[in-house]
Amino acid sequence: MDKAELGRQQLLELLGEAGSKPADEVIADLSYREIGVRPAIPLAIVIARADEFKDRLLAELALDAGQIEVRMLAARDDRHAYFLHTFALYLLGLWEEPRAFAPLVAYLSADSEAAFDQIDDIVTEDVHAILARVYDGSDLGPLKALIENAEADPYVRCACLQSLQAMARLGKLPQSEVAAYCEALAPRLEGESDNAFRTLFVLALAYFQDDRFLLLIDRWLSKGVVDRQHVSRDDIEDIARADYADLNEELTRAERFDGLIDYLSEWAWFTASDPSELDLDPDGDDGDRHAAEPFVRDGRKIGRNEPCPCGSGKKYKKCCLEQETI
């Protein structure tokens, strides 16, 4: 018995009677979660019985944005929210399930704005690592097409770009290949109208900690190609001087996946007692249910649900980002 199998057996023993719960009941338990109720036990059951649940979660990941929207709207009241798709993303990432790569890229590509609205801060926080973990060694053409799609959501594009960097950190791609791709992409982006993605692109370039890219970034900053309100030389230098291990964790999320149950259980939806405690948009955007805390990263990335840095009091996506992409 290998170490992983031994760990699953020990987990089942720890769960006791709960560990033998029928699969349909576990899926139902994970689908619509009540606010304030942590999902630790059903997540542990799925992890302990991984082979039994992989196909079910892959089927969830194969849904398109419209199908997921129907399920989200089917929550019986405002104290329940649909989470099965979210859990599928993280669990398949935990298992590094290669069959998840193609459907995840397809989901993000089909309607990147809808995908962002549905999984929200997961895009800016963890999608890059999930993509890297499930990468199956296949053609990267569809992923690169999304990165290069000027009409796609800038944060989805950036997550896909950083997934390539994470793949290199995980030994799935040569670092030189990823750097060469970014170097070739830069001239095309310089004339692109989407200033938001270009700003995210230079931040991603800083993660290479490569003098060639630092020179390019400095040139773009000097020319005003990127918005100095949202990225500065200090931001770039902070990343360029950061410890390799810290950047490695930001790109691969290894520690986060090692403690996945604890991480997911601390999200705001599971620790609040009432929806009124959460910062939900008045127009019905409930994406913040995913966040454990406001997404703030010292200026390196501006989360769409963060307060806008201009001081308007609005969320960034409802203020300056909206103006940048007009």
**pLDDT tens digits for 79-110?**
999 999 999 999 999 999 999 999 999 999 99
**In the predicted model, what is the mean pLDDT of the chain?**
86
Q: Residues with Cβ < 8 Å from 18, sequence gap 6 or more?
A: 41, 45
The mean pLDDT value for 132-143 works out to 97
| Residues contacting 321, CB < 8 A, separation 6+ | 196, 302, 304, 308
pLDDT score, position 273: 94
Query: Whole-angstrom Cα distance, residue 237 to residue 140?
Result: 30
Helix (H, G, I), strand (E, B) or coil at 308: coil
Residues in CB range of 288: below 8 A, 6 or more apart: 120, 121, 268, 278, 279, 280, 281, 305
- Neighbour-count burial of 326, counting CB atoms closer than 10 A to its CB (0-12 exposed, 13-18 middle, 19+ buried): exposed
pLDDT digits (tens, 9 = 90+) for 233-284: 899 999 999 999 999 999 999 999 999 999 999 999 999 999 998 865 544 4
What pLDDT sits at residue 278? 87
Q: How confident is the model at residue 144 (pLDDT cuts 50, 70, 90)?
A: very high
Tokens, residue 228: 């100095």
Model pTM score: 0.84
Q: Which residues pair with 296 in a beta bridge?
A: 302
